[in-house]
Amino acid sequence: MKKIGAIIVAVSVSILVFLLVYDAVQIKTATTEFFSMNTFISAKVEGINAAEDIKEIKSTVEELDTRLLSRTADTSLIFKLNQNGEITVDPEFAAQLALLADVSKQSGGAFDFTLGAVSDLWNFGGTPAVPEKKKIADALLHSGIEKLEISETSVKKSDGSLTVDLGASGKGIALDYVKSYLDSGRCEKAVVSVGGSVLLYGKGEFSVGIRNPFGDSSSSIATLKLKGGCISTSGTYEQSFEENGKLYHHILNPETGYPVENGLVSVTVISESGLLSDALSTACFVLGTEDGIKLAESYGAQAIFITADKTVYTCGSIENSLKLTDSDYSFAEG
Ligand code: ADP
Ligand code: MG
């Protein structure tokens, strides 16, 4: 009898151990949605540590905002730079700012992350209204990347009123931090979206909808198949208002201080780098189709430009993976 008892215990223990091990190696899925960096964030992760990965992704984004990027939290380096004129930075952030300065130069100033004083006047984050002409002209005097000195250890403003605004690249930067975290773990696959910027991480193919610039956020005009990377869209629909029958949106021409008017309604850029996909989507929007294509190509990025008359331009051999699903839209000829 003793022997049978011992066998039963041994079998039960084996089953329990098997179940525990099986559970530990099983691929799990976890999701989250939260608000940070002034935008909606969602993440879906597959892997054996999916629940922990989700928690880490959330804290990575929140910490990045409060420690580095926020314009309004007094704990952030950008806030301190705007207030005090000088900050000490780590090599990673210094390299990111230097790359943003490079995009600014390569775009001939079309991408300008020192336009904060002008953006503030338009107040797109609050109750927007067309500012007085004179105020825009004055604020423009306190912008320009040449008024920032970026070294490997510090950033210094030569104009006390200049306001750094990483609104056009912060979401992409967040994706790069999330990606480095995922690289250090055992995540199999993830889709992380920070506002209009999305990280597609892991093996296999991803199918992404290209948003209808004239529809709501769930309507798309095309599907794009990608092997991974970061994809960002800048569109007139993100933040806009109407005054006296005219539509004003949040992507500004740094030469005039007014919203860009060049016939484009959205630009989507795909790159391995989240920072580049986000910064280039804004830069290409400001430059317009012809110069925007040259800029995207110079960084090895792929791009999709959509005009108000529903013509779609692409660059970086993307056309074969892009399928238009709305018959109102068509590819540009040639
Ligand atoms: P979104 O933030 O809606 O994803 P973008 O990435 O295009 O869109 O960033 C737009 C934001 O960038 C604006 O709200 C403003 O804060 C800032 N911005 C506006 N014009 C420019 C510009 N020419 N260069 C750099 N940043 C800009
Ligand atoms: Mg952008």
CA of 167 to the centre of ligand 1 (A): 5
Which ligand gives the minimal distance to the CA of 269?
2
Other CB atoms closer than 10 Å to residue 201's CB: what's the count?
A: 23
- Pocket test of ligand 1: the residue of 237, 266, 282, 291 to mutate, having most ligand atoms within 8 Å of its CB, is 282
Average the pLDDT over 235-254 and give the result. 93
Smallest-distance ligand from the CA of 251: 1
Mean pLDDT of the chain: 94
Whole-angstrom Cα distance, residue 160 to residue 177?
Answer: 30
pLDDT tens sequence across 58-110: 999 999 999 999 999 999 999 999 999 999 999 999 999 999 999 999 999 99
How far is 145 from 245, CA to CA, in rounded Å? 34
Q: Give me the pLDDT at residue 8, please.
A: 65
Question: Looking at the CA of 277, which ligand is closest?
Answer: 2
CA–CA separation, 87 vs 104, rounded Å? 21
Average pLDDT of the residues in 292-301: 98
What is the helix (H) or strand (E) element at residue 279, kind and residue range? helix 274-287
What average pLDDT does this structure show over 223-250? 94
Range list of β-strands (E), 50-196: 86-88, 148-150, 154-157, 187-194
d(CA 192, CA 31): 10
Query: Which tens digit of pLDDT belongs to each residue from 179-214?
Result: 999 999 999 999 999 999 999 999 999 999 999 999
Distance spanning both ends of the chain, measured CA to CA: 86
Ligand 1 neighbours, Cβ below 6 Å, are 111-113, 115, 119, 124, 165, 167-168, 171, 195-196, 234, 238-239, 250-252, 254, 278, 281-282, 286
Task: Give 161 Cα–ligand 2 centroid separation in angstroms.
Answer: 23
> What pTM was computed for the model?
0.92
What b/e sequence results for 246-284 when a residue is b if at least 16 CB atoms lie within 10 Å of its CB, and e otherwise? Answer: eebbbbbbbeebebbeeebbbbbbbbebbbbbbbbbbbb
CB-CB contact of 203 with 223 (8 Å):
no
**Residue type at position 105:** K
Nearest CA owner, ligand 1 atom 14: 250
**Band (25; pLDDT cuts 50, 70, 90):** low
Q: Are 128 and 242 in contact (CB under 8 A)?
A: no
In three-state form (DSSP H/G/I as H, E/B as E, the rest C), the secondary structure along 205-239 is CEEEEEECCCCCCCCEEEEEEECCEEEEEEECCCC
Lowest mean pLDDT among 12-21, 25-34, 36-45, 133-142: 12-21
CA of 157 to the centre of ligand 2 (A): 23
Pocket probe mutation, ligand 1, options 194, 198, 230, 250, max atoms within 8 Å of Cβ = 250
Distance 250 CA to ligand 1 centre (A): 6
Share of the chain above pLDDT 70, in %: 92
The helix (H) or strand (E) run that includes residue 262 is none
Q: Ligand 2 centre and the CA of 100: distance in Å?
A: 11
Percent of the chain topping pLDDT 90 = 88
Nearest ligand (C-alpha, residue 250): 1
Find out whether 303 and 269 touch, Cβ atoms under 8 Å: yes
Contact 260, 251 (CB under 8 A): yes
Report pLDDT for 15: 56
